[in-house]
Structure 1
Protein backbone atom coordinates (compact mmCIF):
# COMPACT_ATOMS: atom_id res chain seq x y z
CA UNK A 1 0.00 0.00 0.00
CA UNK A 2 1.39 3.36 -1.05
CA UNK A 3 1.82 5.61 2.05
CA UNK A 4 1.36 8.75 -0.06
CA UNK A 5 -2.04 7.52 -1.25
CA UNK A 6 -3.10 6.75 2.31
CA UNK A 7 -1.90 10.13 3.55
CA UNK A 8 -3.62 11.90 0.66
CA UNK A 9 -6.86 10.05 1.33
CA UNK A 10 -6.84 11.02 5.00
CA UNK A 11 -6.13 14.65 4.08
CA UNK A 12 -8.93 14.61 1.49
CA UNK A 13 -11.36 13.26 4.10
CA UNK A 14 -10.34 16.04 6.49
CA UNK A 15 -10.73 18.73 3.84
CA UNK A 16 -14.17 17.44 2.87
CA UNK A 17 -15.28 17.55 6.50
CA UNK A 18 -13.90 21.07 6.97
CA UNK A 19 -15.11 22.48 3.67
CA UNK A 20 -18.46 20.72 3.56
CA UNK A 21 -19.44 21.91 7.00
CA UNK A 22 -17.87 25.36 7.11
CA UNK A 23 -18.85 26.45 3.60
CA UNK A 24 -22.30 24.89 3.33
CA UNK A 25 -23.28 25.82 6.90
CA UNK A 26 -21.89 29.31 6.31
CA UNK A 27 -19.70 28.88 9.38
CA UNK A 28 -22.57 27.45 11.48
CA UNK A 29 -25.09 30.18 10.61
CA UNK A 30 -27.20 28.23 8.09
CA UNK A 31 -30.20 27.25 10.20
CA UNK A 32 -31.80 25.33 7.31
CA UNK A 33 -29.27 22.52 7.85
CA UNK A 34 -30.10 22.42 11.57
CA UNK A 35 -33.86 22.51 10.97
CA UNK A 36 -33.76 19.65 8.46
CA UNK A 37 -32.14 17.33 11.02
CA UNK A 38 -31.98 18.98 14.45
CA UNK A 39 -30.44 15.96 16.16
CA UNK A 40 -27.60 14.88 13.87
CA UNK A 41 -26.97 18.23 12.18
CA UNK A 42 -27.34 20.63 15.07
CA UNK A 43 -24.51 23.13 15.31
CA UNK A 44 -22.95 20.79 17.89
CA UNK A 45 -23.24 17.91 15.41
CA UNK A 46 -21.68 20.02 12.66
CA UNK A 47 -18.86 21.01 15.00
CA UNK A 48 -18.22 17.33 15.73
CA UNK A 49 -17.91 16.68 11.99
CA UNK A 50 -15.16 19.30 11.93
CA UNK A 51 -13.53 17.57 14.93
CA UNK A 52 -13.62 14.27 13.02
CA UNK A 53 -11.87 16.13 10.21
CA UNK A 54 -9.13 17.04 12.68
CA UNK A 55 -8.82 13.35 13.58
CA UNK A 56 -8.47 12.44 9.89
CA UNK A 57 -5.82 15.13 9.47
CA UNK A 58 -3.97 13.87 12.53
CA UNK A 59 -4.06 10.31 11.19
CA UNK A 60 -2.60 11.55 7.91
CA UNK A 61 0.49 12.67 9.80
CA UNK A 62 1.08 9.26 11.41
CA UNK A 63 3.90 7.46 9.65
CA UNK A 64 3.24 4.13 11.32
CA UNK A 65 0.42 1.65 11.05
CA UNK A 66 -3.00 3.31 10.99
CA UNK A 67 -5.00 0.09 10.58
CA UNK A 68 -7.10 0.46 13.71
CA UNK A 69 -7.60 4.20 13.26
CA UNK A 70 -8.93 3.44 9.78
CA UNK A 71 -11.18 0.76 11.29
CA UNK A 72 -12.63 3.28 13.73
CA UNK A 73 -13.15 5.72 10.86
CA UNK A 74 -15.07 3.04 8.91
CA UNK A 75 -17.52 2.78 11.80
CA UNK A 76 -17.79 6.57 12.10
CA UNK A 77 -18.56 6.91 8.39
CA UNK A 78 -21.03 3.99 8.50
CA UNK A 79 -22.99 5.76 11.23
CA UNK A 80 -23.29 8.87 9.06
CA UNK A 81 -24.22 6.85 5.96
CA UNK A 82 -26.98 5.07 7.88
CA UNK A 83 -28.15 8.40 9.29
CA UNK A 84 -28.23 9.88 5.78
CA UNK A 85 -30.20 6.96 4.33
CA UNK A 86 -32.66 7.17 7.23
CA UNK A 87 -32.98 10.93 6.69
CA UNK A 88 -33.69 10.43 2.97
CA UNK A 89 -36.36 7.83 3.73
CA UNK A 90 -38.18 10.20 6.07
CA UNK A 91 -37.65 13.69 4.66
CA UNK A 92 -38.03 15.76 1.52
CA UNK A 93 -34.84 16.91 -0.20
CA UNK A 94 -36.75 19.36 -2.45
CA UNK A 95 -38.14 21.02 0.69
CA UNK A 96 -34.60 21.56 1.96
CA UNK A 97 -33.58 23.05 -1.40
CA UNK A 98 -36.62 25.34 -1.17
CA UNK A 99 -35.44 26.50 2.25
CA UNK A 100 -31.79 27.01 1.25
CA UNK A 101 -29.59 25.99 -1.69
CA UNK A 102 -26.50 25.32 0.45
CA UNK A 103 -28.52 23.13 2.84
CA UNK A 104 -29.91 21.20 -0.12
CA UNK A 105 -26.42 20.62 -1.50
CA UNK A 106 -25.26 19.56 1.97
CA UNK A 107 -27.98 16.92 2.30
CA UNK A 108 -27.46 15.78 -1.28
CA UNK A 109 -23.77 15.05 -0.88
CA UNK A 110 -22.94 14.31 2.73
CA UNK A 111 -23.97 10.65 2.71
CA UNK A 112 -22.36 9.94 -0.65
CA UNK A 113 -19.17 11.60 0.54
CA UNK A 114 -19.19 9.56 3.74
CA UNK A 115 -19.84 6.35 1.79
CA UNK A 116 -16.86 6.98 -0.48
CA UNK A 117 -14.55 7.70 2.45
CA UNK A 118 -15.96 4.72 4.34
CA UNK A 119 -14.82 2.54 1.43
CA UNK A 120 -11.40 4.23 1.44
CA UNK A 121 -10.97 3.69 5.19
CA UNK A 122 -12.12 0.06 4.82
CA UNK A 123 -9.51 -0.41 2.11
CA UNK A 124 -6.81 1.02 4.39
CA UNK A 125 -8.00 -1.20 7.24
CA UNK A 126 -8.01 -4.40 5.18
CA UNK A 127 -4.71 -3.73 3.41
CA UNK A 128 -2.74 -2.63 6.50
CA UNK A 129 -0.68 -5.16 8.36
Structure 2
Protein backbone atom coordinates (compact mmCIF):
# COMPACT_ATOMS: atom_id res chain seq x y z
CA UNK A 1 0.00 0.00 0.00
CA UNK A 2 2.88 2.37 0.75
CA UNK A 3 4.27 2.28 -2.80
CA UNK A 4 0.76 2.77 -4.17
CA UNK A 5 0.27 5.73 -1.84
CA UNK A 6 3.60 7.17 -3.00
CA UNK A 7 2.59 6.77 -6.66
CA UNK A 8 -0.74 8.45 -6.02
CA UNK A 9 1.00 11.30 -4.19
CA UNK A 10 3.25 11.75 -7.22
CA UNK A 11 0.17 11.71 -9.46
CA UNK A 12 -1.28 14.69 -7.59
CA UNK A 13 1.99 16.56 -7.93
CA UNK A 14 2.20 15.72 -11.63
CA UNK A 15 -1.38 16.88 -12.15
CA UNK A 16 -0.49 20.19 -10.52
CA UNK A 17 2.68 20.62 -12.54
CA UNK A 18 0.81 19.88 -15.75
CA UNK A 19 -1.67 22.63 -14.92
CA UNK A 20 1.22 24.97 -14.19
CA UNK A 21 2.50 24.36 -17.71
CA UNK A 22 -0.14 26.93 -18.69
CA UNK A 23 2.53 29.47 -17.73
CA UNK A 24 4.72 28.19 -20.58
CA UNK A 25 2.00 27.95 -23.21
CA UNK A 26 0.54 31.35 -22.28
CA UNK A 27 4.01 32.92 -22.14
CA UNK A 28 3.27 34.01 -18.56
CA UNK A 29 -0.22 35.18 -19.58
CA UNK A 30 1.09 37.39 -22.40
CA UNK A 31 0.11 35.14 -25.33
CA UNK A 32 -2.98 36.74 -26.87
CA UNK A 33 -3.69 33.76 -29.16
CA UNK A 34 -4.94 31.37 -26.48
CA UNK A 35 -7.73 33.69 -25.25
CA UNK A 36 -8.50 34.76 -28.82
CA UNK A 37 -9.65 31.25 -29.75
CA UNK A 38 -11.67 30.62 -26.59
CA UNK A 39 -12.30 33.93 -24.83
CA UNK A 40 -14.64 32.46 -22.23
CA UNK A 41 -12.83 29.35 -20.96
CA UNK A 42 -9.27 30.31 -21.86
CA UNK A 43 -9.27 34.00 -21.01
CA UNK A 44 -6.29 35.10 -18.95
CA UNK A 45 -8.55 34.76 -15.89
CA UNK A 46 -9.44 31.23 -16.98
CA UNK A 47 -5.77 30.40 -17.44
CA UNK A 48 -5.04 31.77 -13.97
CA UNK A 49 -7.77 29.53 -12.56
CA UNK A 50 -6.12 26.53 -14.25
CA UNK A 51 -2.97 27.46 -12.37
CA UNK A 52 -4.95 27.68 -9.10
CA UNK A 53 -6.49 24.25 -9.68
CA UNK A 54 -2.94 22.93 -10.12
CA UNK A 55 -1.94 24.38 -6.77
CA UNK A 56 -4.99 22.71 -5.22
CA UNK A 57 -3.91 19.31 -6.56
CA UNK A 58 -0.42 19.73 -5.14
CA UNK A 59 -1.79 20.97 -1.81
CA UNK A 60 -3.53 17.65 -1.11
CA UNK A 61 -0.77 15.35 -2.36
CA UNK A 62 0.31 14.39 1.15
CA UNK A 63 -3.16 13.97 2.64
CA UNK A 64 -5.44 13.05 -0.28
CA UNK A 65 -6.85 10.16 1.80
CA UNK A 66 -8.49 12.71 4.11
CA UNK A 67 -10.29 14.69 1.37
CA UNK A 68 -12.00 12.04 -0.74
CA UNK A 69 -14.92 14.29 -1.73
CA UNK A 70 -12.51 16.98 -2.90
CA UNK A 71 -10.90 14.33 -5.12
CA UNK A 72 -14.37 13.74 -6.60
CA UNK A 73 -14.58 17.49 -7.30
CA UNK A 74 -11.20 17.28 -9.04
CA UNK A 75 -12.51 14.44 -11.23
CA UNK A 76 -15.62 16.44 -12.15
CA UNK A 77 -13.52 19.50 -12.95
CA UNK A 78 -11.26 17.46 -15.24
CA UNK A 79 -14.29 15.90 -16.94
CA UNK A 80 -15.70 19.36 -17.65
CA UNK A 81 -12.42 20.60 -19.16
CA UNK A 82 -12.03 17.39 -21.18
CA UNK A 83 -15.57 17.68 -22.52
CA UNK A 84 -15.03 21.37 -23.29
CA UNK A 85 -11.85 20.49 -25.20
CA UNK A 86 -13.67 17.92 -27.35
CA UNK A 87 -16.45 20.43 -28.04
CA UNK A 88 -13.86 23.07 -28.96
CA UNK A 89 -12.24 20.70 -31.48
CA UNK A 90 -15.61 19.88 -33.02
CA UNK A 91 -16.28 23.57 -33.65
CA UNK A 92 -12.85 25.09 -34.35
CA UNK A 93 -9.75 24.60 -36.47
CA UNK A 94 -6.55 23.69 -34.64
CA UNK A 95 -4.67 24.59 -37.84
CA UNK A 96 -5.74 28.23 -37.47
CA UNK A 97 -4.31 28.31 -33.97
CA UNK A 98 -1.01 26.74 -35.05
CA UNK A 99 -0.82 29.26 -37.92
CA UNK A 100 -0.93 32.11 -35.40
CA UNK A 101 1.24 30.69 -32.62
CA UNK A 102 3.04 27.38 -32.10
CA UNK A 103 2.67 27.32 -28.30
CA UNK A 104 -1.03 28.18 -28.46
CA UNK A 105 -1.51 25.46 -31.07
CA UNK A 106 0.29 22.95 -28.89
CA UNK A 107 -1.85 24.03 -25.93
CA UNK A 108 -5.14 23.49 -27.81
CA UNK A 109 -3.84 20.24 -29.27
CA UNK A 110 -3.08 18.62 -25.91
CA UNK A 111 -4.78 20.28 -22.96
CA UNK A 112 -7.84 18.05 -23.13
CA UNK A 113 -5.79 14.86 -23.35
CA UNK A 114 -4.18 15.92 -20.09
CA UNK A 115 -7.61 16.57 -18.58
CA UNK A 116 -8.97 13.18 -19.62
CA UNK A 117 -5.92 11.38 -18.21
CA UNK A 118 -6.23 13.14 -14.87
CA UNK A 119 -10.01 12.67 -14.87
CA UNK A 120 -9.28 8.94 -14.93
CA UNK A 121 -6.60 9.32 -12.26
CA UNK A 122 -8.81 11.32 -9.88
CA UNK A 123 -11.74 8.95 -10.51
CA UNK A 124 -9.49 5.98 -9.72
CA UNK A 125 -8.24 7.58 -6.50
CA UNK A 126 -11.76 8.56 -5.41
CA UNK A 127 -13.08 5.07 -6.18
CA UNK A 128 -10.30 3.46 -4.15
CA UNK A 129 -10.95 5.80 -1.24
CA UNK A 130 -14.62 4.86 -1.30
CA UNK A 131 -13.75 1.14 -1.35
CA UNK A 132 -11.26 1.55 1.49
CA UNK A 133 -13.87 3.31 3.58
CA UNK A 134 -16.43 0.54 3.02
CA UNK A 135 -13.98 -2.24 3.90
CA UNK A 136 -12.81 -0.64 7.16
Q: Which residue of 1 is the match for residue 123 of structure 2? A: 122
Question: Please, which runs of 5 or more residues in structure 1 have no aligned partner?
Answer: none
Question: Please, which runs of 5 or more residues in structure 2 have no aligned partner?
Answer: none
Give the distance between the partners of 1:72 and 1:6, measured in 2 at CA: 17
Report the count of equivalent residues.
128
When normalised by structure 2's length, the TM-score is 0.90
Instruction: Specify the SS of the correspondent of 1:60.
Output: coil
Q: Which residue of 2 is the match for residue 17 of structure 1? A: 19
When normalised by structure 1's length, the TM-score is 0.95
Which structure has the bigger radius of gyration?
Answer: 2
Contact 2:78–2:116 (8 Å) recurs in 1: yes
1:26-45 matched pairs, under 5 angstroms: 26-45=27-46
Q: How far 1:67 sits from its partner (Å)?
A: 2.0
Q: Which residue of 2 is the match for residue 111 of structure 1? A: 112
Range with bigger deviation, 93-102 or 63-72 = 63-72
Give the distance between the partners of 2:65 and 2:44, measured in 1 at CA: 34
